[in-house]
Every structure is written in C-alpha cells, then in structure tokens.
Amino acid sequence: MSGKELQLIEKVFESNYIAPLGEFVTKFEESIKSYTSSPNALALNSGTSAIHLALRVSGVGAGDFILASSFTFIGSIAPILYVGATPIFIDSDSSWNLSPELLEKFLKEFHTQPKALIVTHLYGQMADMERIADICKKYEIVLIEDSAESLGASLNGKQSGTFGDFGVFSFNGNKILTTSGAGILIGKDVEKIEKAKFLSTQAKEDFIHYEHKEFGYNYRLSNVLASIGVAQMEVLSERVEKRRQIFQWYREELGDEVEFMPEIPNSKGNRWLTTVNLKRDTNSLVEKFGKEGIEVRPLWKPMHLQPLFKDAISEVDGTSEKLFETGLCLPSGTAMSREDVKRVAGVLNDK
C-alpha cells in the first residue's frame, strides 16, 4: 500500500456511500484515462469481467472464433467461453509474447473469419502491438489487449492497452497495483464503453422500476475499492521503477547463467515479474526453493496444453511449451530489498 489508502477509505465511510458507484469510482476512471491518454475508462470488479464485456459489446457470440495468446492465464480465455465462442490459440515467438508471424500464417490458411483477438502482454512486457494491430486491421478483427499484467508498460511511448479497440487492466492482489480486486476497461469507442457500463449494472433500462430488455451482469466496482485504486495510481511510476530495479538486481546477481524475458525494441516493460528461462527442467528447483521458504512458480502452462482445451484449434511451434518446461517466475514484490534478491539468486546459483 502507498500509505494514503486509509485516508481515502475514511472519506468513503464518511460519505456513507459504500455501494457500487460513487465519487471514487469516477476518480479512479479519470486517473486511468489521464495516465493512458485513453478517451474512455470503465471501472469493474475484475479484469476478467472487462474482457467479457469487451467481447459482448463487440457482438461476439456462439459460433464465433476468437484468437488468443496461448501463453497466458486462464482469465484471458474464460470470457470466450462465457459468450459461447470458440478459442483459437496462437503461440509465442522469441519475445515470449504472441507471434505476429504465426498469427498471420494462421489467418492466411484458416477458412473462417475470426471475430476478435485477445493478446496478452505477458509478465508486464509489451507484445509487438504495431505489427499485431496492422494484421488485425487488415483482416478486420477486433483487437483486445489483455494488459492485466502490464499497467505502466509502453511501446514507442504509447501505453499498454491503447493500441487495440479495447484494453484491460487488473488490480487483483498480485498485480503491480492492487485494490484487492478490480478491473478497468478502456476503449476508443464511447458508445461501446457506455454499452459495457450498461451491461455491467444488470442492464437496467431507464425506468423508475426495474425494466430489462436484455441480460447484464453485476460487474461494477465498489466505491471502497475504487478509493484504494485512486491512492495506488499515485505511486504507479514508483512501482514500475522499483520492479525494474529488482529485475536489474537479478541481472547483476545471475549474469549470463539464465535467459531473462526480453523487451522488444523501443518498449519499456513494467517487469511485473522477473521471469527466467533456465533451459533445463525446473520441477526440482521449485521444491528446492520451497525448502528455503521461497516461493517460485513455473511460467504459465500454455492454454493449448490445458485439458480444458485439448480439442482446441491452435497455431503453435513449441515455443511456449518449451518455456513452460524450463522457465521460472522469481519473487518480484515491490517490498523486496537487494539482500532478498541475493538470497533468491544464491539458491538458483547453488547447483
């Protein structure tokens, strides 16, 4: 926490307006708009809800195909199932993020027009959004950026989440900023964001009684959590620089012993997590760290390898599968000191 959260929470309690909506929901949205230069922002209860609403207002439904990064977390993909659509998974390239080459290769060969692409900015590092956006424009595909892990990252000075038709941020408990749980949907089209706002509050028509012509969701954010978000946004730049400092400490401690997730040219990642490719099996290492009281985890298991999607269509070349087998997420919390990093690195270096 930044230290200011309790002050703002007290203001919420003084106002006696705890329920969804309120002064700080609006302030939270405005802070995101200001930081990203996005014209529209909608505060929600999770990043997953934001992806769901982006699909819904884009007209995605049963029978549609949705392209997505395979190397990602299930929260990026589950909303595709919520709307009854079918996911198609695209593998990574040397950046670890979605491969533009594999994306275009698939689109040239696939017999049906996909409706949208959900591209994840993995571990806070920018995907090659200029090339990906050009491909989506060429094939008339709605582009949704899953920027849940990448708030504060940029490419050519342009913020993560602002290259596509929609961008999604998460403020879950493990993100670079947290409200304990929240999401933000940004987008260029004010009418679509207003439609998402309507759907997020149970799709209530403008009557004094409850009138519904279509179904919606209970997805809006509480005033209490939004006040935490307002305080958190004030320290975003400091958090990004601290995570980048932690990453640099790891580089200095580990040297050329490991391969770190790269930054693509002209980008600046937020280094939400420091992730490494050890080029060897990591199962025994996870256990070894655990004995030292240090939590490490494998990289994401690709979606095309998940039992849930065993029959899914995919365009893969083995990149993300190999990274899953040989990669680790290292402790990266903002409160870490240089000595903490040395301790982690010491376990890794002790072969």
The tens digit of pLDDT for each residue in 223-282 reads 999 999 999 999 999 999 999 999 999 999 998 889 999 999 999 999 999 999 998 889
pLDDT, tens digit, for every residue of 158-169? 999 999 999 999
CATH H-level superfamily of 236-349: Aspartate Aminotransferase, domain 1 (3.90.1150.10)
Closest to 177 (Cα-Cα) out of 207, 219, 147: 147
Residue 349 has pLDDT above 90, yes or no: no
pLDDT at 270: 97
Residue 351 has pLDDT above 70, yes or no: no
pTM, rounded to two decimals: 0.95
Task: Name every residue whose Cβ is closer than 8 Å to that of residue 231 and which is 6 or more positions away in sequence.
Answer: 1, 2, 3, 4, 5, 7, 8
Q: Where are the domains of the chain?
A: 5-233, 236-349
pLDDT, tens digit, for every residue of 192-230? 999 999 999 999 999 999 999 999 999 999 999 999 999
Closest to 188 (Cα-Cα) out of 41, 44, 35: 41
Q: Mark residue 230 as left, alpha or beta (left: phi above 0; alpha: psi -120 to 50; beta: remaining).
A: alpha
Q: How confident is the model at residue 18 (pLDDT cuts 50, 70, 90)?
A: confident
Percentage of the chain lying above the pLDDT 70 cut: 100
CATH architecture of 5-233: 3-Layer(aba) Sandwich (3.40)
Q: State the average pLDDT over residues 72-97.
A: 98
